[in-house]
Chain A
Amino acid sequence: DGGITQSPKYLFRKEGQNVTLSCEQNLNHDAMYWYRQDPGQGLRLIYYSQIVNDFQKGDIAEGYSVSREKKESFPLTVTSAQKNPTAFYLCASTMGQGSYNEQFFGPGTRLTVL
């Protein structure tokens, strides 16, 4: 079955550590996205990528980095510069860039800073 996988499901980070969240899709979608979800704040866009080897900052990119070396993979690194990283992180993809394209979401990764 086609879909998006995110790993790990739960992640714990110590202060000052960088951690990388994995996102893989086998839908052959061109565009991929990372969102952060906090209670009562909906989804906020961190980074997105329309094509391999290219990505753009979203609304809250500070303290995060991404790469897009393969079409199916879009890992997110939460760096030590992110002051409040505890949140639920969602990866999504769309077939193309049109506004009519629905987003397909992964199951999410819950990151907790100890």
Chain B
Amino acid sequence: AQSVTQPDIHITVSEGASLELRCNYSYGATPYLFWYVQSPGQGLQLLLKYFSGDTLVQGIKGFEAEFKRSQSSFNLRKPSVHWSDAAEYFCAVASGGSYIPTFGRGTSLIVHP
């Protein structure tokens, strides 16, 4: 069965600093990987997704993620964080056998001015 681990419950960064949110997945074949963002009291919005090809994926709002098969990871990065990036971030994985994604528990990003 597919599973996702987001090891960090909370991450605090200063505005302008770089950001990396970790995501590890468990699935035998090449997974379909997603990062979503959720502002307080809102639904989720897709930031980026990876299916195949180039392992570095660009998304919206200046985010990128890198798929590393050897580490079973799909970490989300941003070179310079803005105060508006404060939100909950979810990593999700889907497999060829189950098109319904499994979501991680989320990482809450706090941005200090």
Interface set of A (CB-CB < 8 Å, partner B): 4, 6, 33, 40-43, 45, 48, 58, 90, 92, 94, 97-103, 105-108, 110
Main secondary structure on A side of the interface with B = loop
A42 and B103 form a contact (CB under 8 A): yes
B49 and A99 form a contact (CB under 8 A): no
Interface residues on B, range: 20 to 34
Q: How many A-B residue pairs have CB under 8 A?
A: 56
B46 and A33 form a contact (CB under 8 A): no
Q: How far is the CB of B108 from chain A (nearest CB, A)?
A: 9
Chain A residues, Cβ within 8 Å of B9: 40
B101 and A100 form a contact (CB under 8 A): no
Main secondary structure on B side of the interface with A = loop
B43 and A43 form a contact (CB under 8 A): no
Chain A residues, Cβ within 8 Å of B34: 102
A42 and B32 form a contact (CB under 8 A): no
Q: Which residue of B lies closest to A40 (CB)?
A: B105
A48 and B100 form a contact (CB under 8 A): yes
Q: A42-B103, A42-B105, A98-B99 are in contact. Are A105 and B41 (CB under 8 A)?
A: no
Contact of B90 among A43, A98, A99 (CB under 8 A): A43
